[in-house]
Amino acid sequence: MIGQRDTVNGAHFGFTDRWGGVSAVPYEELNLGGAVGDDPGAVTANRELAAKSLGIGPDRVVWMNQVHGADVAVVDGPWGDAPVPRVDAVVTAERGLALAVLTADCVPVLLADPVAGVAAAAHAGRPGLVAGIVPAAVRAMAELGADPARIVARTGPAVCGRCYEVPEEMRAEVFAVEPAAYAETSWGTPAVDVAAGVHAQLDRLGVGDGQRSPVCTRGSGDHFSYRRDRTTGRLAGYVWLD
């Protein structure tokens, strides 16, 4: 259910694994993504189960329509009947409001400044790393009063640099923007380490406390991996402040 969680000064961070939900194969069990072909009723039930496990209200979670871009939305509550915007980060100054990001190999990025009471969730795949979605989220947090030095950052389970094979040109394109993401697969071909790139960006922004999940989704049977399985579920990362 909740594979990893921690709390720092009233800022809560949680990442799901694939177990403890009601979805059938190939989304078994805890698929939290609503746009991957799973039964919508199962996704709703899974979102309720995950929220209960985290101790938050399922109606107090803000989801995104993620598109691998660099747009950020500032939110003060769930979307309700409004269309869910196409953004890859959400930021809030509303305590008790949870922000959620969906992934299956991309890097889920959770950020919080517990003193300012500002949180953000971001979806950083390779395009988002290059487009700068994480710096954009940190800037949006700063506009709401966050201080990067106080921001606590957690990145969740994602495909690792030893597994994420890309064409040589693609590795060069990412390297030009973020050298820290340069990687090689365990079988000796060009690769990208998106999480390493995200943490390099966070370091340059002066983010004080950053921790990376040790879990590689592609190599873990307890996590959904798009690159491994193609048709599969989505994991979620949740952040909120007391």
Report residue 216 as tokens.
């590689």
Comparing CB distances to Zn ion, the nearer of 60 and 228 is 228
SS3 label, residue 138: helix
Provide the minimum distance between the beta carbon of 218 and Zn ion in the complex, in angstroms, as a whole number: 5
Compare residues 68 and 162 and give the one whose CB is closer to Zn ion.
Answer: 162
Three-class DSSP category at 124: strand
Residue 177 CB, shortest distance to Zn ion, in Å, is 22
Closest separation in Å from C-beta 129 to Zn ion: 17
In three-state secondary structure terms, 212 is strand
- 150 vs 223, beta carbon nearer Zn ion: 223
* Cβ–Cβ under 8 Å, residues 211 and 84: no
Nearer to Zn ion, 65 or 185 (CB): 185
CB of 134 to Zn ion, least distance (A): 21
Contact 102, 235 (CB under 8 A): yes
CB distance 105 to 33 below 8 Å: no
For 230, counting Cβ atoms within 10 Å of its Cβ (0-12 exposed, 13-18 middle, 19+ buried), the class is exposed
Choice between 60 and 162, CB closer to Zn ion:
162
User: Nearest distance from residue 183's CB to Zn ion, in Å?
Assistant: 10
Nearest to 44 by CA among 55, 53, 32: 32
Q: Which residue has the tokens 């487009």?
A: 131
Name the residues that contact Zn ion, by CB under 5 A: 160, 162-163, 216, 218-219
Q: Which secondary-structure segment (H or E) carries 53?
A: helix 40-54
